A = this chain, B = another copy of it.
Amino acid sequence: MENTITSSTSSPKGRGVNFATPRGFGSKFKTKCKETFFPDDPFKPISQEPNRLLKTKKLLEYFVPIFEWLPKYDMQKLKYDVLAGITITSLAVPQGISYAKLASIPPIIGLYSSFVPPFVYAVFGSSNNLAVGTVAACSLLIAETFGEEMSKNEPELYLHLIFTATLITGLFQFAMGFLRLGILVDFLSHSTITGFMGGTAIIILLQQLKGIFGLVHFTHKTDVVSVLHSILDNRAEKQKYPKLFWVSAMGPMVVVVVGCVVAYLVKGTAHGIATVGPLKKGLNPPSIQLLNFDSKYLGMVFKAGIVTGLIALAEGIAIGRSFAVMKNEQTDGNKEMIAFGLMNVIGSFTSCYLTTGPFSKTAVNYNAGTKTPMSNVVMGVCMMLILLFLAPLFSYTPLVGLSAIIMSAMLGLINYEEMYHLFKVDKFDFLVCMSAFFGVSFLSMDYGLIISVGFSIVRALLYVARPSTCKLGRIPNSVMFRDIEQYPASEEMLGYIILQLGSPVFFANSTYVRERILRWIRDEPEAIEFLLLDLSGVSTIDMTGMETLLEVQRILGSKSIKMVIINPRFEVLEKMMLAHFVDKIGKEYMFLSIDDAVQACRFNLTTTKPEP
């Protein structure tokens, strides 16, 4: 092996840069589109299938996942799924009622929303752990968008607009999935979601505290506190003893049942205990005829629909994915969007409001040992039975119990540890998180979100506007060249400066790149003869970027410094050839590795400057 290296370093011309003809625009464009919209290449196994019938079957299985898992379903899985389904139902009732209250809509809508959507998700969803349900943050955001005034003065119009917003959400989510725009959800970073959830939890907590203190005059203070405490204790215990999760999973239902019984026995309403109020028996009535497309409200409806749709997607997809990872399963973001979309479209026709995969319910589902989306079907069936026979019983639920349930759920959403971790590792991530947290807490939910996403985008833009460059030195006794700051033992070479450019080199950073290169050269204590630019890390360049490099070459030329280009990558080299950059720089100034370039420069030096 040593021989080959010696021979190759002594004749570097033998393995130079590959100046093949650039690919056509068509093939490059196709590759780009594929990478942008189909990074997981989902149709490959389908298109490779030779049998036509099997191909259709695979395609159907891809688009409607139930066809994939149902044929393999057995009694063993059913046992787990029934258990998980019953468990999440016990959460669905109190959460459904509570979050409907947050959205200022009749509590029965919350129960309806746990009946139809789970069936839809079971057919189209690709996550085995996700439990469908309503979420606190979006419920509150909806109420905020339409305003308290409308919900009080025109409750019917308000409800109809919420159904319409749910339809918009569904269509938007479906379209995003169909157009494979999962890329938009990517910009709602983990830090943003953490901050957003925390901020939402804070405002909901404050709201509920107000409610609870309002009730203090009518009821026994100790009661409220004790309920709250018992739940909090349950939660804490849960983390220490995972087996006790049943306590926390069943806690809310127990609160509701006990609350109802007590309120009923003591004739609470007569004593001033506020309860949920009448709940009609019966399944979801159709709501398709209630959709309201009045142009007066359409702006608001679209805003509510799209903003909540995005947040619901980000939360649902992130949560589905987190739990899938623990089981080494895969979820497909775009498929999930289509499933969420269909769920909300059909939901908006059947008196449901926005649903997604909430964290608390999904966690309970996962811990209860769910195996497939069948647990959602079980929950749907249970909800059907409750709606048909038991709904009126829940009308005795004391509001204060609901407050306690909401608050206990909210406390779990403030992820202190994650925030502290962000602070330790990445201050900018922490800033993004805090801007969402405080923005939501002190301004409004959508502003908090916009500011936080804004910071994330600024970070992305700052990254491309100021790509990191570094000076390389040779690691002693090797042909490796590494960052001198990182590897202080590496050696600089007299007369050479080797710079590694960050990626990309384009319009937004061309001035910076030029200034930075010139500054590296100015800062050199000794005169230099060669500037070696290592482009290994530069994955793309544009016209402005190439012009900048030419400008640098011209400026250096006037100081008798030669510029050498090292290892331009595929796309970069193609553009350089199309723009005649290669001809202007000269092919003899382009090398495949730093070592080759150094050898060639040394050779060049000895031939052009005769020894004295």
Listed in ascending order, the chain A residues whose CB lies under 8 Å from chain B are 1-9, 15, 18, 25, 29, 35-36, 39-41, 44, 182-183, 186-187, 189-191, 325, 328, 333, 421-422, 424-429, 456-457, 460-468, 470, 475, 477-480, 482-483, 485-487, 502-504, 506-512, 515-516, 518-519, 523, 536-540, 542-544, 547, 551, 554-555, 558, 567, 569-571, 573, 575, 578-579, 592-593
Q: How far is the CA of A41 from the CA of B502 in the complex (A)?
A: 19
Q: Are B1 and A512 in contact, CB atoms less than 8 angstroms apart?
A: no
Q: How far is the CA of A79 from the CA of B330 in the complex (A)?
A: 76
Q: Least Cβ distance of A457 to chain B in Å? A: 7
Neighbour of A507 across the interface among B456, B543, B547, CB < 8 A: B456
Known contacts A460-B461, A537-B539, A539-B467: A425-B575 contact under CB 8 Å: yes
Contacts of A4 in B (CB 8 A): 477-478
Contacts of A511 in B (CB 8 A): 39, 182, 186, 333
Contacts of A466 in B (CB 8 A): 35-36, 39, 183
Neighbour of A579 across the interface among B328, B425, B475, B504, CB < 8 A: B425
Q: Least Cβ distance of A513 to chain B in Å? A: 9
Contacts of A186 in B (CB 8 A): 465, 507-512
Contacts of A190 in B (CB 8 A): 507, 543-544, 547
Q: Which partner residue on chain B sits nearest A489 by CB separation? A: B18
Q: Which partner residue on chain B sits nearest A477 by CB separation? A: B4
Interface of chain A: mostly helix, strand, loop or mixed: helix
Q: How far is the CA of A6 from the CA of B421 in the complex (A)?
A: 43
Q: Least Cβ distance of A405 to chain B in Å? A: 31
Q: How far is the CA of A361 from the CA of B512 in the complex (A)?
A: 27
Q: How far is the CA of A486 from the CA of B503 in the complex (A)?
A: 18
Q: How far is the CA of A9 from the CA of B592 in the complex (A)?
A: 21
Q: Are B18 and A462 in contact, CB atoms less than 8 angstroms apart?
A: no
Q: Are A502 and B539 in contact, CB atoms less than 8 angstroms apart?
A: yes
Q: Are B578 and A540 in contact, CB atoms less than 8 angstroms apart?
A: no
Max chain B Cβ within 10 angstroms of own Cβ: one of A190, A468, A512: A468
Neighbour of A328 across the interface among B479, B537, B547, B555, CB < 8 A: B555
Neighbour of A571 across the interface among B429, B461, B468, CB < 8 A: B468
Q: Least Cβ distance of A484 to chain B in Å? A: 10
Contacts of A464 in B (CB 8 A): 460, 463-464
Q: How far is the CA of A424 from the CA of B506 in the complex (A)?
A: 17
Q: Are A519 and B39 in contact, CB atoms less than 8 angstroms apart?
A: yes
Known contacts A1-B6, A503-B537: A426-B465 contact under CB 8 Å: no
